[in-house]
């Protein structure tokens, strides 16, 4: 069988093995995480709307069918993290779970996101304009919502592959959540703690630039929540895998902020 024509949706090096059961996938500008358990998995975040084929391709690369996703866990409802969530929900009935404070955001009862005007005011800064153009092309400003977002059904560990434990880490958005995999010492930090971004020159643990946070003071406070976890692998929403105690990573991000 010949390869399909057109650009491949996913780079060869886009799927990074973190553990036998955990893979970090780098989409066009955003990461998502696949936590598998046999032939089922938990999918944490789903890239930009323009990353949908890449999300499906990343599952396929691990031998997982889209209908095998037990649930989508959302760190927060920005377009670059919920891009394929509604597609999976509508097509396969996949539940889309998030912190209860993020539910109205996912329904777009309001939009807690940096505006085009705020970005353009900073377009002179290195990396901002190319990032903004990419974000617009990838659906970053397109109308997008999840029609039936669900709050976590229980406190503590969720009955899903990896038994992820959600942690409320507000600031970037009101209902931002990180996901801790205690048995593996891994934490998925979304945009509460990143390790790089096209608009940042720094590499390593950091907060996103200030314009991206709904409440920067709370974002700083959430670093304490993350820093107290027992984890030595950080899987961020943007940037590469960080190996090292999350406490030190949170300290580094606070120093730089």
Binding site for Zn ion (CB under 5 A): 78, 80, 191, 237
Nearest to Zn ion of 78, 99 (CB atom): 78
Q: Which residue, 42 or 45, is less far from Zn ion as judged by CB?
A: 45
Say if residues 43 and 34 touch (Cβ distance below 8 Å).
yes
Shortest gap between Cβ of 193 and Zn ion (angstroms)?
12
Do residues 165 and 158 touch, judged by C-beta distance below 8 A?
A: yes
Rounded to whole angstroms, what are the CA distances from 176 to 97, 120, 162, 186, 237? 12, 25, 20, 18, 12
Neighbours of 110 (CB within 10 A): 9
Cβ closest to Zn ion, residue 86 vs residue 191: 191
Residue with the shortest CB distance to Zn ion: 78
Q: How far is the CB of 113 from Zn ion (least distance, A)?
A: 7
- 3-state SS class at 54: helix
Please state the closest distance from residue 79 (CB atom) to Zn ion, in A: 9
The nearer residue to Zn ion, 102 or 250, going by C-beta atoms, is 102
User: Looking at beta carbons only, is 80 or 102 nearer to Zn ion?
Assistant: 80
∠ CA 200-206-209, nearest 5°, is 45
Q: How far is the CB of 6 from Zn ion (least distance, A)?
A: 26
Shortest reach from residue 40's CB to Zn ion, in Å = 26
> Which of 161, 237 has the CB closer to Zn ion?
237
CA end-to-end span of the chain: 52
Q: Decide whether 60 or 133 has the Cβ nearer to Zn ion.
A: 133
CB of 177 to Zn ion, least distance (A): 12
CB burial of residue 211 (10 Å; 0-12, 13-18, 19+)? middle
CB of 69 to Zn ion, least distance (A): 20
Give Cα 15 distance to the centre of its chain.
14
The alpha carbon of residue 113 and the mean position of all alpha carbons in its chain are separated, in whole angstroms, by: 15
Residue 38: other Cβ atoms inside 10 A: 9
- Across the chain, the runs of DSSP E, i.e. the strands, are 15-19, 22-26, 31-37, 40-44, 69-73, 96-98, 150-151, 165-168, 177-181, 186-190, 233-236, 242-243
């Amino acid at each position: 069988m010949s390869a399909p024509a057109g650009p491949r949706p996913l780079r060869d090096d886009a799927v990074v093995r973190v553990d036998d059961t955990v893979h970090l996938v780098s989409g066009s500008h955003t990461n998502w995480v696949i936590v598998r358990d046999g032939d089922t998995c938990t999918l944490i975040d789903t890239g930009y709307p323009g990353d949908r084929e890449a999300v499906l391709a990343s599952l396929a690369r691990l031998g997982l069918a889209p209908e095998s996703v037990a649930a989508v866990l959302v760190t927060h409802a920005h377009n670059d993290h919920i891009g394929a969530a509604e597609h999976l929900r509508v097509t396969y009935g996949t539940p889309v779970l998030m912190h209860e404070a993020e539910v109205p955001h996912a329904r777009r009862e309001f939009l807690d996101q940096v505006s085009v005007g705020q970005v353009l005011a900073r377009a002179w800064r290195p990396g901002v304009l190319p990032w903004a153009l990419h974000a617009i092309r990838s659906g970053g400003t397109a109308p997008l919502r999840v029609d039936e977002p669900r709050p976590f059904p229980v406190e503590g560990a969720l009955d899903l592959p990896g038994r992820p434990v959600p942690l409320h880490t507000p600031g970037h958005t009101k209902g931002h959540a990180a996901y801790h995999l205690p048995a593996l010492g891994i934490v998925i930090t979304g945009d509460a703690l990143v390790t790089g971004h096209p608009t940042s020159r720094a590499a390593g643990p950091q907060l996103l630039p200030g314009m991206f946070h709904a409440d920067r003071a709370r974002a700083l406070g959430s670093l304490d929540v993350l820093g107290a976890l027992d984890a030595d692998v950080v899987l961020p929403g943007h940037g590469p895998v960080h190996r090292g105690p999350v406490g030190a990573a949170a300290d580094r991000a606070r120093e730089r902020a």
